[in-house]
Amino acid sequence: MQALLTLLTICLLSYLCSSQPSTGVFLSQAATQTGARCLDGTPGLYYHRAGTGTGANKWYIHHEGGGWCYNMDDCLGRSEGYLGSTKGDPATRVIQGGYFSTDPAINPQMYNWNSVYLRYCDGASFSGDNSTVTTFKDHQLYFRGFRILQAVFNDLNTNRGLNKATDVVISGCSAGGLATYLHLDWWRKNIQSSAKVVGLPDSGFFLDYESPIKQYHSNMVWVFTQQNSTSGVNDDCIRANVGKEYLCIFAQHVSPYIQTPIFPLQSEYDSWQTSEDLDSTSVQAINEWGRTMTDLVKTNLLKKSQNGIFLDSCHHHCGEWGNIVIDGKNQARAFEDFYNGVGQKVFMQDKVYPCTCLLYTSDAADDLLC
């Protein structure tokens, strides 16, 4: 009984046991007034859980991931499901664990912050700004993810207290990680200047590559063109690539232009990329992929001393918050150090593929060896 009372006390004091649901905000007015709509025409949506205590004016903003749609049939199919519509979304959701955890042992920097989960329903990492409603096979499709992003910001700033923010972390996983690269400076520009803003993209550094079958480069160029993403990506990148603006839909090309401090979480042997971008299981090819990834990170991100990275050698994609250790720190602790200017900024595992990764445990912090 005493142990239970102690646990309950800890929960009350430090929010360890919080399962407070996040409230859904359906952006119906923006859908009508600005055309900010998902692929199927339903309104954009985000979920918000209020910060508490010292985190009341601090914000973690997360772009949901889920790939992209690469042609009209693909976009039509997506519009009829979760990744293209908000018609089936509930009024509240419990979003917890990882970067959303309210346990300071798991999420030491942001456990009591406001958390925002941006629903992904546009198929282009929140970059589209196509005014034309496209009719395809008797269905109307909307390519307006950037308008949804703008509507989210406006509502957060006007109605939820983002205008009082002191600290903001912009994040996302996979296609949401790419969205972090594309929009980080836009968030920085729009959030009040006195706030500290940094980026934390997870598994979003997709290499610009064209395999014979998967054709990631061509597919993403189609996304950029069809969605009219020119005004929905990094402005400095667009100005520097006149005639080749499509390059700015790729993280490796946009990253040199990002001015806001950024701390990516990334595998050099990202499992989605080796399957869907590189399209190979060859050990030699995957190791070459990792070397290319590492070189691009060093050239395009780490030449700015304000940036850092957690670049591991495990074969995974997203979702390993706290499970991977480099130089004695897992992702959460490494990010905490980076955010507060303590210790090193660059964590690189730099191991040869295949690398067997074991889960991190508090009893064996160095279990994860490759």
pLDDT on residue 355: 85
pLDDT on residue 356: 74
Report which DSSP code applies to 303.
T
Q: Report the C-alpha gap between 131 and 368 in whole angstroms.
A: 49
Report which DSSP code applies to 124.
S
State the CB neighbour count (10 A cutoff) for residue 112. 19
Q: Where do we find the tokens 């419990």?
A: 94
Residues 245/253, Cβ–Cβ less than 8 Å: no
Beta strand ranges found along 119-261 (DSSP E): 134-136, 139-141, 167-173, 196-202
Q: Report the C-alpha gap between 125 and 236 in whole angstroms.
A: 18
Name the burial class of residue 253, with classes exposed (0-12), middle (13-18) and buried (19+) by CB atoms within 10 angstroms of its CB.
Answer: buried
Q: Phi-psi category of 234—alpha, beta or left, where left has phi over 0 and alpha has psi -120 to 50? A: beta
Q: In one letter, which amino acid is 178? A: L
Enumerate residues 6+ apart whose C-beta is below 8 A from 200: 99, 169, 170, 171, 180, 262, 263, 264, 265, 335
Q: Report the C-alpha gap between 79 and 81 in whole angstroms.
A: 6
Residues 225/199, Cβ–Cβ less than 8 Å: no
User: HSE-up of 265 (CA within 13 Å, CB side)?
Assistant: 32
Name the burial class of residue 282, with classes exposed (0-12), middle (13-18) and buried (19+) by CB atoms within 10 angstroms of its CB.
Answer: exposed
Q: Report the C-alpha gap between 252 and 293 in whole angstroms.
A: 9
Residue of 228, 226, 166 whose CA lies nearest to 192? 166
| Cα separation of the two ends of the chain | 42
- What is the radius of gyration, based on Cα positions, of the chain? 20
- The DSSP string of 33-62 is HT--B-TTSPBPEEEEE---GGGTTEEEEE
Residue 170 tokens read as 């912009």
Q: Report the C-alpha gap between 42 and 85 in whole angstroms.
A: 6
Catalytic residues, by residue number, are 174, 270, 317
Residue of 38, 43, 171, 196 whose CA lies nearest to 116? 171
pLDDT on residue 319: 86
Q: In one letter, which amino acid is 11? A: C
State the CB neighbour count (10 A cutoff) for residue 134. 15
What is the pTM assigned to this prediction?
0.93
Residues 30/151, Cβ–Cβ less than 8 Å: yes
Q: Report the C-alpha gap between 339 and 261 in whole angstroms.
A: 9
Residue 65 tokens read as 């991931």
Which helix (H) or strand (E) is 347 found in, with range? strand 346-348
Phi first, then psi: what are they for 95, rounded to 5°? -115, 110
pLDDT in tens, the chain (370 residues): 333 333 222 233 333 344 689 999 999 999 999 999 999 999 999 999 999 999 999 999 999 999 999 999 999 999 999 999 999 999 999 999 999 999 999 999 999 999 999 999 999 999 999 999 999 999 999 999 999 999 999 999 999 999 999 999 999 999 999 999 999 999 999 999 999 999 999 999 999 999 999 999 999 999 999 999 999 999 999 999 999 999 999 999 999 999 999 999 999 999 999 999 999 999 999 999 999 999 999 999 999 999 999 999 999 999 899 899 999 999 999 999 999 999 999 999 999 999 877 555 444 444 445 5
221, 222, 227, 230: CA torsion to nearest 10: 20
Residues 217/252, Cβ–Cβ less than 8 Å: no
